[in-house]
């Protein structure tokens, strides 16, 4: 019975991590659309900016996230359009705690939020931004 409960928690942590990744990608798309809208009336590049806006609105995203699972944490990695990789954050597999990265290998001290606590998860989904500002202490 206890093993089944641990498995359910682990599944919920991963599911909520994937939801957070989708929120981050959506934040990036909205950020990029706003950036292209500033230049859509530029006569020289109007077609380019409008095409990028249309692509973003259709769901295309120039960044992606991958998850590397270790013994204790899910390491969430931001992959840019050019292929560079950086750690976005860590998620504790056992309890859903989210941590800012201290380095490629380890999280910073201090849980930023918890994906298993509804109020904190909703806060993260609403406030998470692709560049990581949401991970700084409030």
| Phi, psi for 121 (deg, rounded to 5) | -65, -45
Separation between Cα atoms, residue 74 and residue 15, nearest integer Å:
12
Sign for the CA dihedral angle at 74, 137, 108, 2 comes to negative
pLDDT for position 39: 85
Compute the mean pLDDT over every residue in the chain, rounded to the nearest whole number: 94
Q: Over the stretch 68-79, which tens digit does the pLDDT of each residue have? A: 999 999 999 999
Query: Is the confidence at residue 1, as pLDDT, over 80?
Result: no
Q: Over the stretch 89-129, which tens digit does the pLDDT of each residue have? A: 999 999 999 999 999 999 999 999 999 999 999 999 999 99
User: What does the DSSP 8-state code read for residue 50?
Assistant: H
- Does the predicted model carry a pTM greater than 0.85? yes
Separation between Cα atoms, residue 28 and residue 23, nearest integer Å:
9
Query: Is the confidence at residue 137, as pLDDT, over 80?
Result: no
> Quick one: what percent of the chain has pLDDT higher than 90?
83
pLDDT for position 138: 62
Cα-to-chain-centroid distance, residue 35? 19
pLDDT band for 56, please (50, 70, 90 cuts). very high
Separation between Cα atoms, residue 6 and residue 59, nearest integer Å:
34
Separation between Cα atoms, residue 42 and residue 82, nearest integer Å:
26
pLDDT for position 109: 95
> If you search the block for the tokens 């991970």, which residue do you land on?
135
> If you search the block for the tokens 């380095």, which residue do you land on?
103
pLDDT for position 128: 95
- Closest by CA position to 30, among listed 52, 57, 63: 57
Lowest-confidence region among 6-15, 36-45, 52-61, 120-129: 36-45
């Amino acid at each position: 019975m206890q093993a089944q409960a641990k498995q359910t928690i682990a599944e919920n942590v991963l599911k909520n991590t994937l939801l957070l990744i989708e929120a981050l990608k959506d934040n990036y798309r909205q950020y990029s659309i706003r950036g292209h809208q500033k230049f859509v009336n530029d006569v020289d590049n109007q077609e380019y900016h409008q095409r990028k806006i249309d692509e973003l609105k259709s769901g295309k995203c120039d960044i992606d996230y991958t998850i590397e699972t270790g013994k204790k944490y899910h390491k969430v990695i931001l992959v840019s359009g050019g292929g560079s990789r950086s750690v976005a954050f860590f998620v504790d597999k056992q309890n859903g705690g989210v941590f800012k990265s201290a380095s490629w290998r380890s999280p910073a001290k201090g849980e930023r939020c918890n994906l298993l606590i509804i109020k904190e998860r909703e806060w993260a989904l609403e406030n998470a931004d692709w560049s990581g500002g949401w991970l700084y202490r409030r």
